[in-house]
Structure 1
Amino acid sequence: MCYQEGDKKLNSELQRIISWAIDNEIPDLVSTNEGYWSGLPRDYDKLRSLDSLRIKCENLTCLPPEIGCLTSLKELHVFSKSLASLPSEIGQLKQLDTLCLIGGELTSLPDELCQLTNLKKLELSGNRFAEIPNQIFKLKGLAELRVAGCGLRHIPEEIGQLKNLIWLDLRNNKLTEIPEVIFELSGLNFLLLGSNRLTSLSTSVGELESLMWLDLIKNNLKTLPSEIHRLQNLVTLSLKGNRFTCLPEGVFVLPNLDDKTREQLETL
């Protein structure tokens, strides 16, 4: 009896999700030219087993609380210019390893986000955060964080708690400095700082010996620290759009730079 009641409750929640999708003109599940599935299925069984959900809807302002019943989800991608809030039920998606909420109006995140302990990738680019939400720093397993184009002016020291970060994207913000704790994230392979307002780069950048891509385009840099020669694994170094008057000799002899980077260095 309890099982039947639970199943009935779940079906009721699934029906509300379907109704929400129809009301917001979100299509049924379709295969895209890019090779992934987009939309929301209208079938209960498919919804129960759904492990990846991609929604594109410019006028979508929120997700329904019933999203929390899609407990098989491992990936959730929402592309909306109007998304302004997340329901607390997002914390019920325990298997989620990828969450992408791109180009919306988000200014905060629910505390329940901290319950997503399996999350590896979080993309919040193009939203309206005054600062990186504190909930993110409790996601200790996070490997990829993208907060480009959010208008950020400051990165808190707490970002140093994300010891497993491999990819950090802080492009297109309003940053004038980068906290030293970022240079203690020794596992970083990708550090993207382009299109900010940086006037200098810490000598501690040399500590990031695993770094493969360093993006510094369109800042206000005049030189680079000599310690950059320690980045022996660096493949791509993006420097255009700065005010360089000189560069350290060590940057020209980095052994693994790709051809595009070497050509760029010759023009600076």
Structure 2
Amino acid sequence: MLKLTSLFILIPVFILGFFLLSQAQNPMKYTYLFRNVILSKSKNFELAPVLRGRVYYPRYFYIPALNQYMVYSDLDETGPFKIYEHTSKSEGKAYALLDDKGTNVITFETPLRFSYRSGCFYGPHTYIPFLETGKTDTLRYHQIHNEKLDLGSKAFEKLFMELYATSEYIEFINLRASRDDIHQAAVIFKRGGKVEILLSGLRDSRMICNYQEDRTINNFDDYYTPDIRNKENFPQSSAAIEMIPLVTENTNPFVYWRTGFNQTFHMKRYRKEYSSGWQGIMKVGVIPVYVPGESSGTVYINFKTNGELFKIKILDVEKADYIPAYHLGLRTFELPANIRTKNSLVFMESVQNSGDNRLGGGVFVVRTATTSNPSDDIPSDMTEKEFSALPLTLQVALLDPEHTTSLKIYAENCNEWIPEIERLKNLEHLEMTTGMTEIPDAITTFTKLQSLSITYGNIHTVSPKIAELTALINIDLFSNKLTEFPHVFLEMEQLERLKIGANPIPSLPEDIDRLKNLTYLSLTLTNVTVLPKSMIGMEKLYIDNMGMENNVPDVYKQLFDYTKIKTFY
């Protein structure tokens, strides 16, 4: 009887345990952070992106007078999943202003430094009275003092005191920004409602740097005071606007121990995708000493906040092998507990303190759901199962196909063209490493394509229709299965760069000089040993093939002049 009773107790426990385990490890129950729709279990709330990319110690403020929140951070949108980020982003930080519902009011970037005392952005020559006007228009200062940075210490002190005595508002500001090796700090004066600035240089500075660090609010900004006598008698004005910094209880999000209960982030599963194993570091006598190496993988997280549960997947999480410590890079920021209400916004950040950018990295806000359909952000004619079977970078691109201009795909086990790529009509740069054997006719879908890279694959055939891509100037087919030079390339007179190295190509066509705009040709690791006579006149061309220049007649030597690369690129 006792055994029978035990079975009645144990069987439901085992069934429940199996159910819970299967739920925790079912990837379809978890959503990648790169998705635009991330719903809570109740579907009443969503985790919405505020800033996308690799963020660096974001700061969060609540502005009571506006009942709005501000988030700002350095933001790097590049990474191993992005290509051809040639357009330089503005130096400085990205800013987002949200209302009390978590709806984005405005997002912009500026190299100017933000002041949480005045709500303005300041630079050495211009400023933006952002919270005063609600606009991002850049204005010139009414007057710039010490613009040439040639004032001596006594002259600076005298001018400072004169301006101080006649100003209704004074603020000491930090001007240090990327690529500015001239200015260090300054003093802002408002006189008669007009804004003036007194500059201090980086060298022979007239301001004193004071260091500060507060990890609970991510404040690592240096602040400055004038280098004058009796400076305590010349304080800056009280803050012009109240901004309350949001706080975190997790001051180091890069060390997460998989222990304990009731945690904000509860790791349910870790799927290891790379491991360096045990690493030998030394010998004690003849006995080798090993330490755990590093691993990287995907984690499945239950994120609980304000009674809501989000199931999310995080990519590229590093950890020490065989130790339950993870570089999770997740944490939340909220208003201080004494003024927090049930309607106060909660922000979550996903960051890494080292390595490459993370797919889905950035800052998110928990807000009331704008949809109840968890698939609302993917193409309407695709199921979640079909969508999730695609390469991750393609999934990201399909969330915003109209604005996707570059795509990088690694799918070595994929032996065929992926037709879903054709949804990205505005592609300018396409980079792929797959097992497919041909460049298909479908390549003509991308009429704006400028650069095509398909490397380390099995390409042996190139569609003759590729010649229809008149914007295509860069082709890289390094390490494929080409057994001859694709003659269709001769019809593409706009080509500027061509890489066909590491292919068993025996020769080049005699009329290759039809490519009059060709400036770079890679023939490394091919079987080409003789160059066509027509190439002698290709004066702009540089041939990349180490060793070949020593085995060709002197009339071809100019084709191996490396300085041409510096001239044309």
TM (norm. structure 2) is: 0.33
2:552 aligns with one of 234, 243, 247: 247
Structure 2 CA distance for aligned equivalents of residues 12 and 179 of structure 1: 49
Residues 1:257 and 2:561 are matched in the alignment: yes
Residues 1:21 and 2:313 are matched in the alignment: yes
Per the alignment, residue 168 of structure 1 pairs with: 475
After TM superposition, give the deviation of residue 214 of structure 1 in Å: 0.5
Contact between 2:427 and 2:449, CA under 8 Å: does it hold in 1?
Answer: yes
Change (3 A) 1:259 1:205: same
Contact between 1:153 and 1:176, CA under 8 Å: does it hold in 2?
Answer: yes
Per the alignment, residue 493 of structure 2 pairs with: 186
Contact between 1:209 and 1:230, CA under 8 Å: does it hold in 2?
Answer: no
Contact between 1:193 and 1:216, CA under 8 Å: does it hold in 2?
Answer: yes
Give CA deviations for 1:177-219 in whole Å, capped at 9, x if unaligned. Answer: 1222212212211100101111110123211121121101111
Structure 2 CA distance for aligned equivalents of residues 84 and 42 of structure 1: 17
1:122 aligns with one of 413, 427, 430: 430
SS at match of 1:202: coil
Per the alignment, residue 452 of structure 2 pairs with: 145
Contact between 2:393 and 2:408, CA under 8 Å: does it hold in 1?
Answer: no
Structure 2 CA distance for aligned equivalents of residues 108 and 45 of structure 1: 39
Residues 1:101 and 2:409 are matched in the alignment: yes
- Higher strand fraction: Structure 1 or Structure 2? 2
Contact between 2:397 and 2:404, CA under 8 Å: does it hold in 1?
Answer: no
Contact between 2:351 and 2:358, CA under 8 Å: does it hold in 1?
Answer: yes
State which structure, 1 or 2, has the greater radius of gyration over its C-alpha atoms.
2
SS at match of 1:227: helix
Q: Which structure has more RCO (C-alpha within 8 Å, separation ≥ 6)?
A: 2
Per the alignment, residue 359 of structure 2 pairs with: 39
SS at match of 1:191: strand
Per the alignment, residue 54 of structure 1 pairs with: none
After TM superposition, give the deviation of residue 229 of structure 1 in Å: 1.9
Give CA deviations for 1:100-137 in whole Å, capped at 9, x if unaligned. Answer: 11364233344342232221100003x11121244322
- Higher helix fraction: Structure 1 or Structure 2? 1
Residues 1:205 and 2:486 are matched in the alignment: no
User: How many residues in Structure 1 have an aligned counterpart in Structure 2?
Assistant: 218
Change (3 A) 1:181 1:249: farther
Change (3 A) 1:206 1:45: farther
Structure 1 CA distance for aligned equivalents of residues 446 and 48 of structure 2: 30
After TM superposition, give the deviation of residue 94 of structure 1 in Å: 0.9
Contact between 2:476 and 2:499, CA under 8 Å: does it hold in 1?
Answer: yes
Per the alignment, residue 543 of structure 2 pairs with: 237
Change (3 A) 1:122 1:89: closer
Root mean square deviation of aligned Cα:
4.0
- Describe how 1:61-80 pairs up with structure 2 within 5 A: 68=378
Give CA deviations for 1:145-197 in whole Å, capped at 9, x if unaligned. Answer: 00011111222212212221111001101111122221221221110010111
Change (3 A) 1:195 1:119: same
Structure 1 CA distance for aligned equivalents of residues 378 and 316 of structure 2: 18
Change (3 A) 1:115 1:257: same
Q: Percent same amino acid among aligned pairs?
A: 22
Stretches of structure 1 lacking an aligned partner (at least 5 in a row):
1-8, 47-63, 70-81, 262-268
Stretches of structure 2 lacking an aligned partner (at least 5 in a row):
1-35, 41-45, 50-309, 318-327, 330-349, 367-373, 380-389
The one-letter amino acid paired with 1:38 is R
After TM superposition, give the deviation of residue 253 of structure 1 in Å: 3.9
Contact between 1:217 and 1:241, CA under 8 Å: does it hold in 2?
Answer: no
Change (3 A) 1:91 1:245: same
Structure 2 CA distance for aligned equivalents of residues 165 and 140 of structure 1: 9
SS at match of 2:403: coil
Structure 1 CA distance for aligned equivalents of residues 422 and 499 of structure 2: 25
SS at match of 1:21: strand
